[in-house]
Chain A
Amino acid sequence: MAGFRNTLLRLFGAKIGKGVRIHPSVKVVIPWNIEIGDGVTIHERAILYALGKITIGSNSEIGPLVHLCAGTHDHTDPVFPLLREPITISERCSLGAASFVAPGTVLAQGTILHPMGALYSDSTPDTQYRGNPAKPFVPTTDQDSTT
C-alpha cells in the first residue's frame, strides 16, 4: 500500500522518488510542499508540518514520532504573522524517534539526530547530535555509537 499512498501524495502535488515508504499514520499538513528523494522511509506517527517547503534527500530515514516543523511566527510583531521557513534534510540523514527539527534548519549530509533531540540550528556533515537543544557529540563507547 506504500505505492498507493505515494501516488495519492503525488496527486496532491508532492514530489516523491522511487522506493519511498511512508507509514499510514504519518501526518502531512500540506502535501504540495514536500519533496522526497529515493529510498526514504518515514516511520509511524511522524508529523510533516509542511507550511514551508520540506525537502528530504535520498536514503534518509525519519524515525517514528518525529516532528518536522516548517512554520513559525514573528514574535517581535504584535500581529504575530506566519513565517513559512523551509526545512532541508540532505542525503543519508537519520532522525531518531521523537526528534524535532526547527523551522529554517538545514541538515547536512549524513547527520544523525539522536532520539528526542531537538535541532534548532544548521548541522555539519557526518555529525551526531543529541539533547535539547541538540549539540554535536562524538560517541566514545560502543553503547553510544548504536543509534
Chain B
Amino acid sequence: MSTLCTPFSTPAPTTERSLRAILWKLVSSTIFKLLPSPAYKPRRAILVAFGATLDPTTRVRGGVKISHPWNLVVGWKTAIGEGTTIYNPATLTIGKRSVVSQYCLIKCVASDNNDPSKPQHPSPLTIGDDVWVATECLALGNQSIPNGVVIGARSLITNANFTPWTIATGNPAVSRKERHYTGLKS
C-alpha cells in the first residue's frame, strides 16, 4: 500500500476499498449525520459495521465526522465529543478512559516540508489512557500522546513531546505543570 495521499497523486484504490468508501460517504452523510446525539448504540453499530474497533462502552457523540472508520481504534469508556472532526487515512488509536472534547480537529497526517510534491502523507496518531484533549484542539499525526496528559482548550498538538501526567497548553502545546490526579495512575 502506498503511503501517498495528495490531491494530485492519490493511489488507485482497490474495488473493495472504493466500494466501502463510497458506501461510507453515503451512510455518513445521511443516517450517521441525522442520528441524535444520545443515540450511542446505533452510531457505534454503524461504525463497527464499517470496520472500526470500538469498545462497547465507547461513547461517540452526535455531529462527529469520521473520514475512515476502518482506521479507528477506541478503548474502554472513552468519549468523543460533539462536532469533532476526525480525518484518519492512517490509524487513530485512543486508549482507555480518555476524552476528546467537542469541536476538536484530529488529522492523522504529517507534513514533509522537504518534499513539495507530497506536502502531506497519512501518519498514525496514538492517544494514551486517561488523556483529556480539551475543546477545539488540533492534533496532527506522526506522534503519540502519553498517558494522563491534559491538553488545554485551543491547543495545537504537533511534534508532541509531553511528559506523562502533565497539563499542556499553548500553540504549540508544551507540558507546563504537573497534573494532580487522585485516582490510580495507569
Residues of A whose CB lies within 8 Å of any CB of B are 47, 49, 67, 69, 72-73, 75-78, 80, 100, 102, 118, 120, 131-133
Contact = CB atoms under 8 A, between A and B. Distances in A.
A133 B136 contact: no
8 contacts: A67-B103, A75-B181, A76-B179, A100-B136, A118-B154, A120-B152, A131-B171, A132-B171
A76 B180 contact: yes
A76 B136 contact: no
Contacts of B164: none
Interface residues of B, number: 24
B125 interface: no
Contacts of A67: 103, 135-136, 154
B5 interface: no
Which 8 A-B residue pairs are closest in the complex by CB-CB distance?
A78-B183, A132-B171, A118-B154, A100-B154, A75-B150, A76-B180, A76-B182, A69-B135
B153 A102 contact: yes
Contacts of B132: 73, 75, 80
Interface in B141-164: 150, 152-156
B143 to A, nearest CB: 19
Nearest to A101: B153
Contacts, number: 48
Contact of A80 (B99, B103, B136, B167): B99
**Interface SS majority for chain A:** loop
Contacts of A100: 136, 153-154
A118 B181 contact: no
B170 interface: yes
B136 to A, nearest CB: 6
Contacts of B155: 132
Contacts of B97: 78
A67 B184 CA distance: 33
Given A78-B181, A132-B154, 19 more contacts: A49-B102, A69-B135, A73-B99, A75-B132, A75-B150, A75-B181, A76-B180, A76-B182, A77-B183, A78-B97, A78-B184, A80-B99, A80-B132, A118-B154, A120-B169, A131-B171, A132-B170, A133-B169, A133-B170
Contacts of A118: 153-154, 171
Contacts of B134: 72
Which of B99, B135, B169 has the most C-beta atoms of chain A within 10 angstroms of its own C-beta? Answer: B135
A47 B150 CA distance: 22
Contacts of A78: 97, 181-184
Contacts of B179: 75-76
